[in-house]
Amino acid sequence: MQRASRLRRELSLLAAEPPPGITCWQDADQPELRAQIVGGANTPYDKGVFTLEVVVPERYPFEPPQIRFLTPIYHPNIDSAGRICLDILKLPPKGAWRPSLSIATVLASIQLLMAEPNPDDPLMADISAEFKYNKPVFLENARQWTEKHARQRRTAGEEEMPGAPPAAGDSAAHSTGQKRKAGQLGGREKKARPDA
């Protein structure tokens, strides 16, 4: 009961006053939410539109939402499955989730993490090392991934609408079965941290 009323209130607030560069919605046929975050200016994710899946647990707000990227992203704190290393996505004592936090707050924190990675607490050790010790290569790889995976393509007669939920028939940007691949970029392979 508390989950449903809180979720309704949060979704209506997100629709009425969304944080800049963030949208969140629920498809009628899906129990989980979808969100999009527009990459910030002056970051390698600039002009990229990143889709996320938001699963709200039954015990919400006493448990944090489970959020993962559906759009591949080259980032030290986000792994190839889209999982995010962020303290507010975990319960104490290891995490910092509090029932007073909202989905909008969490999405804004993820947007901030995109702009300011934390290489000292990585999910992707090789990307973290690249960020720390060879930042120009990291920036170029992140830009290439953004260009390849997160740029919204224009079709004939349509304008690009970053941040807007994709049209129902737009399977490229809105596919729930989208496969994520680590792949290789510039001869380097993404590897997950073994203790994560």
The tens digit of pLDDT for each residue in 135-180 reads 999 999 999 999 999 987 655 444 444 444 544 334 333 333 333 3
Residue 9 DSSP SS3? helix
- Cα separation, 113 vs 117, in Å, equals 5
Residue 190 pLDDT exceeds 80: no
pLDDT above 90 covers a percentage of the chain that reads: 72
User: CA 98, CA 116: separation in Å to the nearest integer?
Assistant: 22
Q: Is 34 helix (H, G, I), strand (E, B) or coil?
A: strand
Q: Which amino acid is at 48?
A: G
For the whole model, what pTM was predicted? Answer: 0.78
Which value, to the nearest 10 degrees, does the dihedral of the CA atoms of residues 27, 29, 32, 34 take? -30
CATH of 2-153, one of 3.50.50.60, 3.10.110.10, 3.40.190.10, 3.90.230.10: 3.10.110.10
Where in the sequence numbering do the catalytic residues fall?
85
Could you tell me the pLDDT band of residue 27, with boundaries at 50, 70 and 90? confident
Look up residue 50 and give its two tokens. 């990143």
Kindly compute the dihedral angle of the four CA atoms of residues 174, 179, 183, 189, in this order, to the nearest 10 degrees.
100
60-69 average pLDDT score = 97
Tabulate helix, strand, coil % of the chain (nearest 5).
30, 15, 55
Q: What is the pLDDT of residue 184?
A: 34
